[in-house]
Amino acid sequence: MLELAASLGDVMDDIERIALHVKNIGKFEDQWRQMRQRNPEEDKIHSNYVEEFGDYMQTAKAGESRILAL
């Protein structure tokens, strides 16, 4: 029984960490979206970033899906 409680505690810790990362990615995306609206040059920077490093919003969506699965 103690092992189950410890495992559930670990899962809850993981959920909290994933949720924090997803929330932070969302905040950064909101800020960057506002910057892109004010400055069209930011669109190029954003496109270059996504091309080089991948679509970080896909990571956020995967995190949300993982939270739901847990």
Residue with tokens 């909101």: 30
CB 26 within 8 A of CB 64: no
What pLDDT is attached to residue 54? 94
What does the alpha-carbon distance between residue 55 and residue 49 come to, in Å, rounded to a whole number?
Answer: 8
What pLDDT is attached to residue 44? 95
**How much is the average pLDDT of 29-41?**
95
What pLDDT is attached to residue 38? 96
Please report the DSSP string for 7-59 in residue order.
Answer: HHHHHHHHHHHHHHHHHHHHHHHHHHHHHHHH-THHHHHHHHHHHHH--HHHH
Judged against a pLDDT cut of 90, whether residue 27 lies above it is answered with yes
What pLDDT is attached to residue 4? 82
